[in-house]
């Protein structure tokens, strides 16, 4: 039976054109006499001369053997890289677009500093989509508004409570949300997320509690789109106090004093892997550093 290590040594000798060149270029250390001795053993085992030593050239049999073994040894490194990539730990995160765009990269950078080499997959969606993806195991964790009953078997870490705000055009006469809410609001088109999203639900529920109403005129697919529509002069937007979303040269932010805040948290299922546990810790730390005045107790107390 042929010795695989002998074949590997012959591969490098044939590839680099001689024993001394092979020793200089092989990915591991081995002395030239050891290579020579093992190549001789291979030739004795086959009963053939595989190459001429001076000057170097493969014999007909050496060329035939090289053609046979080259695809295997030549592709070992690329196969190894592919296998390492395919079986590297994976982290799949679902969240709203602003979270994925403005905040998650900073968290992931921290995770990679102590846990490098994992594969990251991110998906943006609404609250109902995020909860569904978690239940179907399409994401490992979801950063989503809280308040509703959590999905079955989901574990929850509260993160932050962000105040609701109104957005108006910079040229608008309105300087405070309170003044606007006391007027005939119907004259102002209202722009918001779909009605079943937490931002919209909390806003409309508080209006109803105050025995007031303000129907939606435009339903947007993201908070950033709401800001842009307000900047375009299309109406008043309902959003949350997150400057990276609401800041625009043509938009004024009006705090909604007395309205409930939108509570965000992270959901996951089962016992977290070491990678997931580290990610949860880094998310909580990042939130406490970024919004110290709005951070929630992660124990939920």
**Percentage with pLDDT > 90 across the chain:** 68
Q: Which residues pair with 263 in a beta bridge?
A: 161
Architecture label for domain 4-83: Orthogonal Bundle (1.10)
Backbone angles phi, psi at 189, to 5 degrees: -60, 135
**Percentage with pLDDT > 70 across the chain:** 96
Q: What is the DSSP string of 238-291?
A: EEES-HHHH--TTEEEEE-TTSPPEEEEEEEESSPPHHHHHHHHHHHHHHHHH-
Q: How far apart are CA 280 and CA 268, in angstroms?
A: 10
Residues 52-105: pLDDT tens digits? 988 999 999 999 999 999 999 888 877 766 665 565 678 999 999 999 999 999
88-161+264-290 shares the fold of 4-83: no
Q: Is 231 exposed, middle or buried (0-12, 13-18, 19+ CB in 10 A)?
A: middle
Q: What does the pLDDT read at residue 31?
A: 87
Residues 2-45: pLDDT tens digits? 888 899 999 999 999 999 999 888 777 788 898 999 999 999 99
What's the pTM? 0.68
Architecture label for domain 164-255: 3-Layer(aba) Sandwich (3.40)
Output the CATH code of domain 88-161+264-290. Answer: 3.40.190.10
Q: What does the pLDDT read at residue 75?
A: 85
Residues 116-166: pLDDT tens digits? 888 899 999 998 899 889 888 889 999 999 877 777 788 999 999 999 999
Q: What does the pLDDT read at residue 289?
A: 95
Q: What does the pLDDT read at residue 83?
A: 63
**Domain range list for the chain:** 4-83, 88-161+264-290, 164-255
Statement: residue 260 has pLDDT above 90: yes
């Amino acid at each position: 039976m042929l010795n695989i290590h002998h074949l590997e040594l012959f591969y490098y000798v044939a590839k680099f054109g001689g024993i001394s060149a092979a020793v200089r270029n092989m990915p591991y250390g081995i002395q030239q006499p050891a290579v020579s001795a093992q190549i001789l053993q291979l030739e004795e085992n086959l009963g053939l001369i595989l190459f001429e030593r001076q000057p170097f050239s493969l014999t007909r049999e050496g060329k035939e053997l090289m053609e046979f073994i080259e695809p295997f040894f030549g592709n070992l490194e690329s196969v190894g890289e592919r296998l390492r990539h395919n079986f590297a730990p994976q982290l799949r995160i679902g969240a709203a677009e602003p979270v994925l765009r403005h905040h998650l990269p900073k968290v992931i950078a921290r995770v990679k500093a102590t846990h490098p080499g994992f594969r990251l997959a991110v998906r943006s969606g609404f609250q109902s989509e995020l909860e569904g993806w978690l239940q179907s195991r399409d994401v490992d964790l979801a950063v989503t508004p809280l308040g509703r009953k959590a999905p079955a078997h989901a574990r929850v870490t509260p993160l932050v409570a962000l105040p609701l705000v109104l957005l108006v055009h910079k040229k608008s006469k309105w300087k405070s949300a309170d003044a606007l809410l006391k007027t005939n609001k119907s004259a102002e088109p209202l722009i918001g997320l779909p009605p079943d999203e937490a931002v919209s639900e909390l806003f409309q529920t508080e209006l109803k509690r105050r025995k007031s109403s303000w129907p939606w005129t435009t339903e947007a697919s993201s908070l950033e789109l709401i800001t842009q529509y307000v900047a375009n002069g299309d109406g008043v937007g309902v959003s949350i106090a997150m400057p990276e979303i609401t800041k625009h040269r043509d938009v004024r932010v009006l705090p909604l004093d007395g309205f409930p805040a939108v509570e965000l948290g992270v959901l996951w299922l089962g016992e977290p892997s070491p990678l997931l546990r580290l990610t949860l810790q880094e998310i909580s730390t990042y939130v406490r550093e970024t919004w110290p005045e709005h951070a929630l107790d992660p124990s939920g107390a």
